Amino acid sequence: MSFLGADPAEAEEFLARHPEVEAIDIVLMDPNGIGRGKVIRRHELPSLYRDGRHLPSSILGLDVTGEDVEETGLVWQVGDADQRAWPVPGTLVPMPWTDPPRAQVLLTLHGLDGSPSPHDPRAALARQQAALAARGLHPRAAFELEFYLLDPQPGPDGRPRPAACLLDGRRGGQIQAYGLEEADGMQPLFGAIYRAAAAQGLPLETLISEYAPGQFELTLHYRDDILRAADDLVMLKRLVRAVARRHGVEACFMAKPLAGQAGSGMHLHVSLADREGHNVFTETPDGPAGAIAPTLRHAIGGLLETLPDSMLLLAPHANSWRRFVARSYAPVTACWGVNTRDAALRVPAGPAKARRVEHRVAGVDANPYLVGTAILAGILHGLDTRADPGPPTQPGEEAPSCEPLPPDWRSAMAEADASQFLTAALGEPLHRSFLAIKRAELARWESTVTDLDYALYRHTV
């Protein structure tokens, strides 16, 4: 075993097992959850595991367009200095859809002294995981991935539209929730997705045709290690996008790609295991039927209290905010409930030993490492303060204590900026650089004259 858990034997064994692999994508997830890196040749892989690989810190200071945000302090203030990236153990996998064959490995960024970069979102999640572990608690977690399959060519109105069925070119255009015909029509693509996921060791489970034409959901089996659950999600997203592209279809992970249709969420299911592996969210056996365990109540209370502070991580883009529409299965208030999808935080029905909270607020456009960071920090806050979530919302109504979510991106930015909770959760450097990136994106958004400006005003006012 060498530095930081990167074992050169992992690289050697992989290369021996995969003589066909010519090159490897080395992938660092930036604060927006966009994978960036290099494509190295096969002979360069062992040295990545032995010595790490220099990458500039400015990768963690880019906006969504890939442009430097100087205000992060990660660009010219530090001379765009190199830091050292190390592979994440266990994430070196083939990309079976590539020809000539390539592989990929996830990276984390470190200082030249080996300390984790305080700007790396994965390191922030690792810190929250460690804070819970120090209390003898271990999160089990799984993300859900909702997304659209779009036609790469615009529709007759010049706008994006759902992809035609791959089997026969049919265009349904109907919602067809849980539609098995719709899932079957995309079988050539989903077959390839499941084969690629198996080759990558991703615990991919259920496929659902979701609540909109062209919208699908894939679920992942939970992991005992939430870092691994987040790695699964980013790997699955890369895989789906790349395999869809090779089938002539565009996988779209915007939170709200089509006005008037459902948005796409990235729900996170979390429970906490104690040192013996028992789920501490399970009701005490002597409690009344339907009781909620005190730890789960406190966790939910903490998540609700910290939701306004965390919204910018859960809904990080201008488009994210279009998803929060009442009766669209996306939350509009900070409330919790048992077995009701009206709630931002849902306690799903099911066996007591699998009791968990489903956090339904994040859009699929969010960075899963930051989503996990906000949620673990919220749970910790709730446990430490013995937070009380108040009464659960009942199906069809909102509990009196329900607070509205922040109304928009700008308000969420202000809440995040002023939040001591979020500063502590992310660590001061990442809090500063993430907000600098978001402010730069907001400035771009607000200074752009859009097509809608022209459509509404050009010939009218």
Q: What are phi and psi of 195, to 5 degrees?
A: -65, -40
Closer Cβ to ligand GLU, 298 or 360, answer by number: 360
Query: Hey, what are 461's tokens?
Result: 């006012």
Looking at the chain, the number of H-run helices and the number of E-run strands are 12, 16
Count of residues touching Mg ion (by CB under 5 A): 1
70-73 long-range contacts, CB within 8 A, separation 24+: 71/436, 71/439, 71/440, 72/119, 72/432, 72/433, 72/436, 72/437, 73/432, 73/433, 73/436
Which residue sits closest to ligand GLU, CB atoms considered? Answer: 265
Which residue's entry shows tokens 């592209």?
Answer: 245
Give yes or no for residue 342 binding ligand GLU (CB under 6 A).
no
Give yes or no for residue 217 binding Mg ion (CB under 5 A).
yes
Q: What are phi and psi of 28, to 5 degrees?
A: -105, 130
Annotate 218-231 with b (16+ C-beta within 10 A) or e (fewer). Answer: bbbebbebbbbbbb
Closer Cβ to ligand GLU, 147 or 190, answer by number: 147
Report CA dihedral (127, 129, 134, 137) to the nearest 10 degrees.
Answer: 170
The binder of ligand GLU chosen from 127, 138, 247, 323 (CB under 6 A): 323
Closer Cβ to ligand GLU, 96 or 265, answer by number: 265
Closer Cβ to ligand GLU, 88 or 254, answer by number: 254
> In whole angstroms, what is the distance from residue 370 CA to residue 310 CA?
9
User: What's the closest the beta carbon of residue 228 comes to Mg ion, in angstroms?
Assistant: 22
Give yes or no for residue 330 binding ligand GLU (CB under 6 A).
yes
Q: Which residues, 138 to 157, sit near ligand GLU by CB under 6 A?
A: 146
Query: Considering CB distances under 5 to 8 angstroms, the limit depending on partner class, which of ligand GLU, Mg ion, none binds residue 329?
Result: ligand GLU
Closer Cβ to Mg ion, 267 or 438, answer by number: 267
> In whole angstroms, what is the distance from residue 109 CA to residue 86 CA?
6
58-62 long-range contacts, CB within 8 A, separation 24+: 59/28, 59/30, 59/109, 60/28, 60/30, 60/31, 60/109, 60/117, 60/119, 60/120, 60/433, 61/119, 61/433, 61/436, 61/437, 62/30, 62/31, 62/32, 62/34, 62/36, 62/437
Nearby residues of 390 by Cβ (< 8 Å), 6 or more positions away:
301, 304, 399, 401
Q: How is residue 223 annotated by DSSP?
A: B
Burial group, residue 299, by CB count within 10 angstroms (0-12, 13-18, 19+) = buried
Query: Hey, what are 420's tokens?
Result: 């001591």
Give yes or no for residue 329 binding ligand GLU (CB under 6 A).
yes
Which residue sits closest to Mg ion, CB atoms considered? Answer: 217
User: What's the closest the beta carbon of residue 262 comes to ligand GLU, in angstroms?
Assistant: 5
Q: Which residues, 258 to 277, sit near ligand GLU by CB under 6 A?
A: 262-265
SS3 279: strand
User: What's the closest the beta carbon of residue 447 comes to ligand GLU, in angstroms?
Assistant: 29
Closer Cβ to ligand GLU, 328 or 411, answer by number: 328
User: What's the closest the beta carbon of residue 255 comes to Mg ion, in angstroms?
Assistant: 13
User: What's the closest the beta carbon of residue 350 comes to Mg ion, in angstroms?
Assistant: 16
User: What's the closest the beta carbon of residue 211 comes to ligand GLU, in angstroms?
Assistant: 6
Query: Considering CB distances under 5 to 8 angstroms, the limit depending on partner class, which of Mg ion, ligand GLU, none binds residue 240?
Result: none
Q: With beta carbons less than 8 A apart as the criterion, state whether 129 and 139 touch.
A: yes
Closer Cβ to ligand GLU, 297 or 323, answer by number: 323
> In whole angstroms, what is the distance from residue 72 CA to residue 440 CA?
10
The binder of ligand GLU chosen from 297, 317, 322, 360 (CB under 6 A): 360
The binder of ligand GLU chosen from 36, 241, 341, 410 (CB under 6 A): 341
Q: Cis peptide before 154, with omega less than 30 degrees from 0?
A: no
Closer Cβ to ligand GLU, 208 or 435, answer by number: 208
Say what angle helices 294-314 and 428-446 make with each other, to 10 degrees: 50
Q: Tell me the window of 49-57, 210-218, 334-342, 369-377 that interacts with Mg ion (CB under 5 A).
A: 210-218
Query: Considering CB distances under 5 to 8 angstroms, the limit depending on partner class, which of ligand GLU, Mg ion, none binds residue 35?
Result: none
Count of residues touching ligand GLU (by CB under 6 A): 10
User: What's the closest the beta carbon of residue 208 comes to Mg ion, in angstroms?
Assistant: 6
Closer Cβ to ligand GLU, 63 or 342, answer by number: 342
User: What's the closest the beta carbon of residue 2 comes to ligand GLU, in angstroms?
Assistant: 42
Closer Cβ to ligand GLU, 63 or 182, answer by number: 182
Which residue's entry shows tokens 């991703």?
Answer: 202
User: Footprint of ligand GLU on this chain (CB under 6 A)?
Assistant: 146, 262-265, 323, 329-330, 341, 360
User: Footprint of Mg ion on this chain (CB under 5 A)?
Assistant: 217
